Amino acid sequence: MSDQAKTPAPTPATKKLFIKTYGCQMNVYDSQRMAEAMGAEGYVLTEDQSDADMVLLNTCHIREKAAEKLYSDLGRLKPLKAEKPDLKIGVAGCVAQAEGEEIIRRMPLVDLVVGPQTYHRLPAMVRGEAPAIITDFPEEDKFDHLPQRRATRRAPAAFLTVQEGCDKFCAFCVVPYTRGAEVSRPVDRILREARDLVERGVREITLLGQNVNGWHGEGPSTQGQGGEWGFGRLIRALGEIEGLDRIRYTTSHPNDMADDLITAHRDVPQLMPYLHLPVQSGSDRILKAMNRKHTADQYLRLIDRIREARPDIMLTSDFIVGFPGESDQDHADTLRLIEQVNFGTAFSFKYSPRPGTPAYEKPEVDSAVADARLQELQALLSRQQKAAQIGMVGRSLGVLFEKPGREAGQMVGKSDYLHSVFVEAPDAQIGDLVQVRIVESAPNSLRGELIG
Ligand code: 5AD
Ligand code: SF4
């Protein structure tokens, strides 16, 4: 029997839960789901750690020093625990998965350790009805055991996890070990969760997965749409949900950009003209050593096909500099690829050796050399980012209002391209999707004027 089935009705006594989220959007989503699960136990979220009855650190393990950062954050909780001995401290996420019981051994103030695949058991753990450390990869799907997302009105943009884990085994990456093998959530659950979000006021959904475009599933046989669905087909089905105005997805692998997904960018108007497609390097030698299984040229040709389907699409990417064996020529190849694609924005990281990954013990590039390359690459990317933002001036774009702006009568929201846009709109509400003309580009935002 599941822990969830044993959950008693919500208790009136309110306790306070503080969650600190590190890392990616998947962790942001997981933190929301953990908050909902704990809500059924009578916990409400607080922004004030010192006021909390429970502190949960939802950790990330992607780059170095993640564990050290966790231990120093835990160290800083010692005075609070001394003052409030009943305070519960939990560690969730990928460091919990990787370190397991070592966390409680080093930091006995920690009460619970729960991995990313087992957090549906958190309520039972808190009640003392399940072990204090759970980091296995269960056969069951945690989403089947989590409470329905709460019947409250939600912010207009939401995340929805459709796929987890990764089978790609890039030589530098811990995800296949911390998040496990690729698992796709079933079509009906995804569509149900999406409809439910829309009923609660959500107008934009970002589909999440470590390798989201590797999602696949069995179509609903009842409507004669059975058979194997790829990610493009899922997006088309989501595009039929009345009231869902914007669809995004992240993060994708170039080798899983199927034809049906590329043409979805042409055919589904709700699918935003924005694609995060990490390439990591522009050197064939390094791409091979990274086990990316494609060349720079294949990536460039893929970009051409995507731009043919959706000419106004903005591309973003991730880069790693200083991967073991990277030469000046390899770095120059990466800069050339960046010039050829012209990205709207990108994340770039200095290579960080992760224990347990194939690249871990390879000789490292000199740290100062890697720093200099990172600076050069970031300078180029930030020139492209600036140009892309300035290029928005004069264009007419959709903006989904998310909160009031700094000045009276002002609203701020995200454009189709995820830029923050400030708009003078005294009669508008949060959740309105409006058409604006971009009139000005500031360092980190745009200013727009309502059209019509
Ligand atoms: N070192 C540096 N960057 C990394 N990433 C993943 N693993 C590492 C690592 N060991 C980056 C990749 C990935 C992003 C989420 O984090 O660029 O796309
Ligand atoms: Fe990690 Fe992404 Fe490579 Fe998977 S595809 S191993 S998540 S970098």
Buried b vs exposed e over 306-337: b needs ≥16 C-beta within 10 Å?
Answer: bbebbeebbbbbebbbbbbbbeeebbebbbeb
Q: How far apart are CA 353 and CA 299, in angstroms?
A: 25
Asked whether residue 162 falls in the same domain as residue 115, the answer is no
Residues 313, 375 share a domain = yes
Q: Which atom of ligand 1 is nearest to the CA of 174?
A: 7
Distance 272 CA to ligand 2 centre (A): 23
Burial per residue of 140-168, b for 16 or more beta-carbon CB atoms within 10 angstroms, e otherwise? eebeebbbebeeeebebbbbbbbbbbbeb
Buried b (16+ CB within 10 A) or exposed e, 359-377: beebebbeeebbeebbeeb
- Measured distance CA(167)–CA(183) in Å, rounded: 10
Specify if 50 maps to a domain.
yes
One domain for residues 432 and 349: no
Q: Which of 372, 390, 408 is the last residue of a domain?
A: 390
Closest by Cα among 381, 268, 367 to 324: 367
Quickly tell me which residue has 């450390």 as its tokens: 133
d(CA 296, CA 301): 9
**Nearest atom of ligand 1 to the alpha carbon of 350:** 2
Q: What is the pLDDT along the chain (452 residues), one digit of tens a residue?
A: 344 445 555 445 689 999 999 988 999 999 999 999 999 899 999 999 999 999 999 999 998 777 888 999 999 999 999 999 999 999 999 999 989 999 999 999 999 999 999 999 999 999 999 999 998 887 777 888 787 666 566 799 999 999 999 999 999 999 999 889 999 999 999 999 999 999 999 999 999 999 999 999 998 876 666 789 999 999 999 999 999 999 999 999 999 999 999 999 999 999 999 999 999 999 999 999 999 999 999 999 999 999 999 999 999 999 999 999 999 999 999 999 999 999 999 999 999 999 999 999 999 999 999 999 999 999 999 999 999 999 999 999 999 999 999 999 999 999 999 999 999 999 999 999 999 999 999 989 999 999 97
Please indicate, yes or no, whether residues 419 and 380 belong to a single structural domain of this protein.
Answer: no
In short, whether 280's Cβ falls inside 6 Å of ligand 1 is yes
Q: What is the CATH number of the domain that holds 117?
A: 3.40.50.12160
Q: Give the model's pLDDT for residue 2.
A: 43
Same domain, 230 and 212: yes
Distance 424 CA to ligand 2 centre (A): 41
What's the confidence (pLDDT) of residue 68? Answer: 86
Residue 164 inside a domain? The answer is: yes
Q: What is the pLDDT of residue 65?
A: 79
Q: Name the DSSP class of 256.
A: G
128 lies in the same domain as 164: no
pLDDT for the residue numbered 66 = 77
Domain that holds residue 156: 142-390
Distance 245 CA to ligand 1 centre (A): 31
3-state helix, strand, coil in the chain (%, to 5): 35, 25, 40
Q: Determine the pLDDT at residue 9.
A: 52
Same-domain pairing of 162 and 296: yes
Q: pLDDT at position 222, please?
A: 65
Are the C-beta atoms of residues 95 and 84 closer than 8 Å to each other? no
Residues 373 and 419 in one domain: no
Q: Whole-angstrom Cα distance, residue 94 to residue 219?
A: 31
Q: Please count the structural domains in the chain.
A: 3
For residue 8, being part of any structural domain is answered with no
24 in a known ligand binding site: yes
The CATH number of the domain where 386 resides is what? 3.80.30.20
- Residue 354 to residue 323: CA distance in whole angstroms: 12
Q: Which ligand is nearest to the CA of 64?
A: 1
- Whether residue 379 is contained in a domain is answered as yes
Kindly state whether residues 298 and 177 are assigned to the same domain: yes
Distance 16 CA to ligand 1 centre (A): 34
What's the confidence (pLDDT) of residue 138? Answer: 79
Sole residue written with tokens 């399940």? 130
Dihedral sign (CA 426, 429, 434, 440): positive
Is 115 annotated to bind a ligand? Reply is no
User: Residue 347, SS3?
Assistant: strand
Half-sphere exposure of 57 (CA within 13 A, CB side): 25
Q: Is the CB of 209 under 6 A from ligand 1?
A: no
C-alpha closest to that of 93 among 63, 58, 56, 54: 58
- Whether 159 has a binding-site annotation, put simply, is no
Same domain (yes/no): 129, 176: no
The domain that contains 430 carries what CATH number?
2.40.50.140
Is 29 contained in some domain? yes
Residue 242, class by beta-carbon neighbours within 10 Å (0-12 exposed, 13-18 middle, 19+ buried)? exposed
Structural domain ending residue among the three candidates 352, 370, 390: 390
94 assigned ligand-binding residue: yes
In-domain check, residue 307:
yes
Instruction: Provide the residue count of the chain.
Output: 452
24 lines ligand 2 (CB under 6 A): no
* Contact in structure between 349 and 319 (CB atoms under 8 Å): yes
Residues facing 44 on adjacent strands? 16
Greatest alpha-carbon span in the chain: 64
Pocket of ligand 2 contains residue 168 by CB under 6 Å: yes
Whether residues 242 and 365 fall in one domain: yes
In angstroms, what is the span from residue 26 Cα to ligand 1's centroid?
A: 15
Domain boundary pick from 355, 390, 425: 390
Element (H, E) at 39: helix 25-39
How far does the centroid of ligand 1 lie from the alpha carbon of residue 214, in Å? 19
Cα-to-centroid distance, 116 and ligand 1 (Å): 19
Task: Identify the residue whose C-alpha is closest to ligand 1 atom 12.
Answer: 318
Question: What's the pTM value of the predicted model, to 2 decimals?
Answer: 0.91
Do 270 and 152 belong together in one domain?
A: yes
Binding site annotation covers 60? Answer: yes
Ligand 2: which of 62, 63, 166, 360 to mutate, most ligand atoms within 8 Å of CB?
Answer: 166
**What ranges in 200-295 are assigned the alpha helix state H?**
231-238, 259-267, 284-289
The ligand minimizing its distance to the Cα of 210 is 2
127 vs 330: CA distance, rounded Å: 54
Q: How many CB atoms lie within 10 A of CB 84?
A: 13
Decide: 320 in ligand 2 pocket, CB within 6 A. no
Is residue 284 assigned to a domain? yes
